[in-house]
Structure 1
């Protein structure tokens, strides 16, 4: 009889336990969870705070009774594994209620400890009213605090996925909400120009954004009421409630004390079978270091989807299904903020630069898709990114996006779906039918010519010079570029047009820039 111990539940550990039982009725499976909830949807926690998910029970994916009755898994909640004896293949677990310790033998051990919320050592960090958002008890504490203090205002520290979801849900409750972010943009995984529309949208909805200004500390409010968030610029933001959601770090203490190898990003190092440096120990979920599917480099990508897949793979390998492998993570994710959707898959431009990949060269040579980002208030933003994500997984190129046959009806979109249009624009570059460049700063003295009269006024276009062409969004600029190229000019279309340039300029706080053109014109 094979004995499998699993440390941690939630996504990776719970998926592993259920998969193990589906593969074997003979295995002895025991799962340890240091909290009281073995499998819950932590992505839904902010929405329970805001009442979008009204019942706490809706957050529970599976409880102890279900694991016992459905899967015959022995679950020990409120029990923390504190040591691993690799030589004897034993773990030591401590009961959180009694403090008593016991040892358990294993043939295979699966580590799924997750990631801990980052809580920096800042002045005043332990004042009452400052909360994290990782567990169901965290939600209870926040809801209780809001009710007891009749909170009217909140500061969310951190502008990532959970930070923005918290901001939205606090606004649902009627709280005057601000977001304080050290970086000059929210949603750090996105490129700056892609989130500038989100900045404008959030401000229009009444959310205050304080960007490029990290937190320096916290103080008690006047008269002992509320809090004051102090930032590095010297600004002070009063609030009745502070949510500290600046990210997570992998829980590797147990693995490190057991002598397991860690990766360069600080997570538990595993192979593509989810094995650690000890062949009898596996690791899954937010604590592990995975391969970035696009760059091939080690990465920490704490997402529930990959964690579930990793748990299944570890179970397959433990039960002898050796070919089962984890291919890596491309980081497909979505967030909804006050009616706007932001979705992405693959690498951002920032990631590609950091990885040292010549993404423009690859882009021109074979049309390989390295990443996709989309922001908008219309329905289906995330579904377009899903299409691109699957195309990437199947080794598709921009030519496949160009030819993709997608559902169409007027109420759902256009006959040329945005996915098709993106593919067409990129395919034109690859084929050499269109030459593009990115924004190159301000363009003083631009020559304005309506597209409808460009052919007649071609003589006004200066010859023998590199021409940078742009319109509002890039389409008329493309048509103008084709005319100019066919007329013998050296012309390139500025990708995304003037609208994207304005977003880019705003996101980088650039100065200057060319004036807006006529609604039907192209600028040279």
Structure 2
């Protein structure tokens, strides 16, 4: 008989670890304990079950307890909570939540994969009826039952992160008039402000989703039936709602780990080494309850994503069956790569945002470049906007963000690979990528973006970020001169307040209209014509020149 391995937690990391351990050592005895009723499910798919994109909850479940037993020989105990661990005698104390009976089980190796839980604020009304969080299959079943049988008139989602936005999409697609309330000044925390504002603008103007940022709920009000009826904001506003889904963050489940003396890292999650070992011998951890390393800045990071959890679980499952490190697998860390589908948009990110990179002490350069994802003449060609962040001194790529209806996922994955391998802008600009008109431009969007970054790093081009320009306009900066080089009809349709129109083909003859003593920002639709104007004006002796990064396509602020 092989060693006894106990896994606490039965979702992504826990089931992956258990399955890997059993495959590595078929003679081992592997047991999973979980408080939940359902195991091995895709939490990331829950919004799509609520939206009926996924019709049955069974489609979200990879394996049932019976299938684990039949196909892998793994025993799964659902509705069983591990309430303590006797690490000296190597046994877990388990409570059967159906009967309240308590039993002890011995282990040789223990894996803690207790996941994370939704953050619920301590405010009045949080426990009213029709107030939900979304983390488990049980949560999703309750929400969908209300949508199907007693549909709300005014659903409100609290939180503008991935789950909140995916919920908004799915509720809207089902015909509900949905509102999002976010306490921060932007949705999509972790993304740069101007990218998040592009998404917000899209939701409001194109999809009719009402978005409230910089708003905090201080009280939840109910009716006579103790059902939610309104939320009170810190501004004094009241918003009516008859379904409130609280999706404003999660926290790692580390209570058991703390209780038994496992070290908690600076992120608030369990500290592990690259082999997924905790500070206690023969106890490992994986998934949303533990931290890892950000590979860009080499600092602890808590990145609760399903992809990360599965990789951690696989490493932990492998290592618990071996005694020598030479047989171990390792998990060095993450870039925080993530992606979101939002109606027809794809939004994705890898590595550090520009804000994060500056906070980490990097000397940062960034570019924003709109381009086609395929040959412009191909019928399915779509626009994408890529933002690239690099270190000024070395050209090392630090991060990227993308948004658009085109193949954003492909471009972000390419850049993620370069970041993982410590790649530079110079290498990215020369990478040999597949080309055919149905799949790409002759120069891929990532190569075009890298070339723009090279121009900035070598001093051929200076730009200004959309958010920086917006702030300076709002502050009434008198030193700015905004010159829009599009055609007059384009300018009349929409323009940035305070800009003047000098079309590119009239620039030479009207060059005397431009004050050389001003800081001149050149503006066009995508940035190409502005760059042409930039080179022309430099030939006339202008030195204080910038172009608007990304042009008006990437400018999410007020136009007239």
TM-score, shorter chain, exceeding 0.5: yes
Q: 1:147 maps to which residue?
A: 148
Distance 1:95 1:222 in 2: 37
Does structure 2 retain, via aligned residues, the 8 Å contact 1:364–1:429?
no
Counterpart residue number, 2:260 = 258
Superposed displacement of residue 198, structure 1 = 1.5
| C-alpha distance in structure 2 between counterparts of 1:66 and 1:123, whole Å | 43
Distance 2:52 2:286 in 1: 31
The separation in 2 between residues aligned to 1:199 and 1:445, in whole angstroms, is 28
Tell me, what secondary structure is at the counterpart of 1:150? coil
Whole-angstrom distance in 2 between the partners of 1:433 and 1:150? 58
2:321 alignment partner, one of 305, 319, 324: 319
Does the 8 Å CA contact 1:114/1:250 hold for their aligned counterparts?
A: yes
Q: TM-score, normalised by structure 1?
A: 0.90
**Partner residue, 2:303:** 301
Q: 1:396 aligns to what? A: 423
For 2:17 and 2:146, locate their aligned partners in 1 and report how far apart those are by CA, in whole Å: 36
Distance 1:284 1:317 in 2: 12
Correspondence 1:450 to 2:506: no
Equivalent residue in structure 1 for 2:363, among 344, 355, 358: 358
Q: CA deviation at 1:428?
A: 1.8
Return the alpha-carbon distance in structure 1 between the equivalents of residues 160 and 223 of structure 2: 24
Provide the C-alpha distance between the structure 2 equivalents of 1:222 and 1:3, rounded to a whole number of angstroms.
54
| SS at structure 2 position matched to 1:423 | helix
Taking the TM superposition and a 5 Å limit, the aligned residue runs for 1:229-378 are 229-320=231-322, 321-360=326-365, 363-376=391-404, 378=405
Instruction: Give the drift of 1:264.
Output: 1.2
Provide the C-alpha distance between the structure 1 equivalents of 2:245 and 2:513, rounded to a whole number of angstroms. 59
Whole-angstrom CA distance in 2 between matches of 1:2 and 1:367: 49
Per-residue displacement from partner, 1:472-524 (whole Å, max 9, x unpaired)? 43222222333344555424433515426742x56xxxxxxxx88xxxxxxxx
The worse-fitting range, judged by mean Cα deviation, of 326-335 and 464-473 is 464-473
The answer to whether structure 1 residue 478 and structure 2 residue 531 are counterparts is yes
Structure 1 residue runs of 5 or longer lacking an equivalent are 507-514, 517-524
CA pair 459-142 structure 1, distance change in 2 beyond 3 A: closer
8 Å CA contact retained: 2:157, 2:244: yes
TM-score (norm 2): 0.85
Seen in structure 2, the aligned counterparts of structure 1 residues 466 and 117 have a Cα distance that, compared at 3 Å, is closer
Which residue of structure 2 lines up, in the alignment, with residue 209 of structure 1?
Answer: 211
Q: Does residue 168 of structure 1 match 2:195?
A: no
1:332 CA displacement: 0.9
Distance 1:200-1:463 versus aligned 2 partners, 3 A rule: closer
**Alpha-carbon distance in 1 for matches of 2:520, 2:154:** 52
Compared CA separation, residues 30 and 480, structure 1 to 2 (3 A): same
Q: Deviations over 1:252-275 (max 9, x none)?
A: 000000011101111001111111
Q: How do 1:118-129 and structure 2 match up within 5 A?
A: 118-129=119-130
Corresponding position of 2:456: 429
- Report the CA distance shift for 1:22/1:470 in structure 2 as closer, same or farther (over 3 A): same
> 2:11 touches 2:41 (CA, 8 Å); kept in 1?
yes
Q: Which residue of 2 aligns with 1:510?
A: none
2:442 & 2:122 partners in 1: Cα distance? 54
SS in 2 for 1:254: helix
Instruction: Report the CA distance shift for 1:410/1:21 in structure 2 as closer, same or farther (over 3 A).
Output: same
Distance 1:446 1:211, change over 3 A: closer
Q: Is the 8 A contact 2:155 2:244 kept in 1?
A: yes
Taking a change above 3 Å as real, the CA distance of residues 166 and 401 of structure 1, as seen in their structure-2 partners, is same
Contact 1:366 1:430 in 2 (8 A): no
- What pairs up with 1:8-87 in 2 under 5 angstroms? 8-87=9-88
